[in-house]
Amino acid sequence: MPELPEVEVIRRGLAPHLEGRHILGLSFGEHRLREQGEPAELLRAAGQRVVELSRRGKYLLARLEQGHTLLMHLGMSGRLLVFHEPAPELPHVHIVVHLEGGLALVFQDIRRFGNFVLHPPGVTPPAVAQLGPEPFDRKVTAAWLARLTQGRRRPLKNFLLDGRMVAGIGNIYACEALFAARLHPATAVGDLTVTEWGRLLRAIRKVLQAAIARGGTTISDFLDGSGNTGLFQLDLTVYGREGEPCRKCGTAVERLVQAGRSSFYCPRCQAQV
């Protein structure tokens, strides 16, 4: 579910509730997430104050006062919701973080692809260490992208989804950015000119910014920390619109499967080179 914009929207909503507050304790549901620390390990967070809530790619990192990092990832269906204690009984709740001031942070995840792991002081979580730069990082330029992909034949869409290259872009925003940049998802990365990389980079940044400003994309289940849906689904140009007319030229939007994921594109606006 959540890509960079959704995670950033969640971060902004949660930060004022978490930062500066002590974690009183944690409780756990009966099922575990795909990647979840042992209770004894996670309970080391109890008694510590949250210093800062930050984001890298699609990961949320809560830095604790003794230097631990609580790493959270929402997978496909995860939610982080803040309630006043007692938090309501909800299905698929796997972790509840009890906070100072009578607040509870609830991790709900139907599909359980999420992560919730406490890393000791001085350690960058490996999953975060291997991420590429943020799309808004100044080191990411058209020339940098061209150099990175020189001589490679990988499809552009698959490249955008690879967080080790540039972090945080998921299936929705990869499709939307490719449409905005008028590039076909199957184009080999090594074939793009520096000009085209520049166009794509601007499109990526514009789409991500717009989605954050709209509170993210809610297709079936995304909610921010206060339980609100996003609105960017109203602005989607191609994602999920197979067979519907392109908003620019009216041609039917097509769907193509790449690396097991659906790519939506306009065959006319994004003509294969």
- Note the residues at the interface with DNA (CB under 7 A): 1-3, 6, 31, 34, 57-59, 73, 75-77, 91-92, 110-113, 127, 130, 152-155, 158, 161, 163, 170-172, 189, 216-222, 230, 258-262
Q: Which residues pair with 23 in a beta bridge?
A: 99
CB of 232 to DNA, least distance (A): 8
Alpha helices (runs of H) in 130-267, residue ranges in sequence order = 142-148, 156-161, 171-180, 194-213
Helix or strand (DSSP H, E) at 64? strand 59-64
- Catalytic residue, chosen from 247, 261, 267, 268, is 261
Closest CA to 10 of 96, 93, 81, 108: 81
CB of 228 to DNA, least distance (A): 12
CB of 54 to DNA, least distance (A): 15
> Judging by beta carbons within 10 Å of its beta carbon (0-12, 13-18, 19+), is residue 270 exposed, middle or buried?
buried
Nearer to DNA, 46 or 213 (CB): 213
Helix or strand (DSSP H, E) at 126? helix 126-129
Q: How far apart are CA 273 and CA 134, in angstroms?
A: 28
Q: Which residues pair with 35 in a beta bridge?
A: 115
Nearer to DNA, 48 or 263 (CB): 263
Nearer to DNA, 168 or 180 (CB): 168
CB of 84 to DNA, least distance (A): 26
Q: How far apart are CA 1 and CA 76, in angstroms?
A: 4
- Catalytic residue, chosen from 11, 55, 56, 58, is 58
- Catalytic residue, chosen from 3, 8, 196, 254, is 3
Does residue 3 have an active-site annotation?
A: yes
101-106 long-range contacts, CB within 8 A, separation 24+: 101/21, 103/17, 103/21, 105/14, 105/17, 105/18, 105/80, 105/81, 106/79, 106/80, 106/81, 106/82
Nearer to DNA, 6 or 99 (CB): 6
Q: How far apart are CA 105 and CA 59, in angstroms?
A: 16
Place of tokens 């972090």: 167
CB of 153 to DNA, least distance (A): 5
Nearer to DNA, 40 or 257 (CB): 257
Residues labelled as active-site residues? 2-3, 58, 261
